[in-house]
Amino acid sequence: MDNQTQQVMFSSKSNDWETPQHFYDKLNREFGPFTLDPCATEESTKVSECYFTPSDNGLFQDWDGQTVFMNPPYGREIKEWLRKAYSESLKPDTKVVCLIPARTDTKYWHEYCMRAKEIHFVKGRLKFGNSENSAPFPSAVVVFESQPQTIIKTMEAR
């Protein structure tokens, strides 16, 4: 792992992997137009018309009826964001598109992501924020919407 990647990972903002603009634009064309960014700051938001910051606490807000783009903090709290994304998507006319690390062996992946309508695995690695370097983890785009699900199944390791 090179110095720049280490600095991003171990800084106080290490869980805030800002979406590359070109990748956001692609998702916005395919799944949007997005109307809400629930994980943001004034500086980092991808949806300037409607976003929640840590002081609003997006986890406690209503996402009802929105087309949401969610790139959450990637620390332990990510499971709370996926729980929220899934439960909000059960509301009428609500779609939540999540950009997350493809950690397919985690409990939250099996609890929530496996109930998604679609999962898109990103080929190659994204370059988050202003980094010139690729992320040290693979990414996935998980789409929650209360519509018939694409078939996704699990298999036991043993």
Ligand X SMILES: C[S@@+](CC[C@H](N)C(=O)[O-])C[C@H]1O[C@@H](n2cnc3c(N)ncnc32)[C@H](O)[C@@H]1O
Q: Which residue lies nearer to ligand X by CB, 80 or 111?
A: 80
Element (H, E) at 141: strand 139-145
Distance CA 19, CA 46 (A): 8
Is 98 a binder of ligand X (CB under 6 A)?
no
Number of shown-chain residues binding ligand X (CB under 6 A): 20
Q: How far apart are CA 145 and CA 65, in angstroms?
A: 11
Residue 46, interface with ligand X (CB under 6 A)? yes
User: Smallest distance, Å, CB 118 to ligand X?
Assistant: 19
Omega of the bond leading into 136 within 30 degrees of 0 (cis): no
Phi, psi of 155 (to 5 degrees): -140, 135
**Dist. CA 16–CA 107, nearest whole Å:** 21
Q: Closest separation between CB of residue 133 and ligand X, Å?
A: 17
Site membership for ligand X, residue 109 (CB under 6 A)? no
Cα–Cα distance between 49 and 36 in angstroms, integer?
Answer: 8
Q: List the one residue from 37, 78, 89, 95 that touches ligand X (CB under 6 A).
A: 37
Q: Is 8 in the site for ligand X (CB under 6 A)?
A: no
| Region label for 93, one of left (φ > 0), alpha (ψ between -120 and 50) or beta (otherwise) | left
What is the closest distance, in whole angstroms, from the C-beta atom of residue 61 to ligand X in the complex?
8
Please list every residue from 9 through 28 that binds ligand X, using CB under 6 A: 16-19
The answer to the question of residue 52 lying near ligand X (CB under 6 A) is: yes
Binding footprint of ligand X on the chain (CB under 6 A): 16-19, 37, 39-41, 44-46, 52-54, 57-59, 71-73
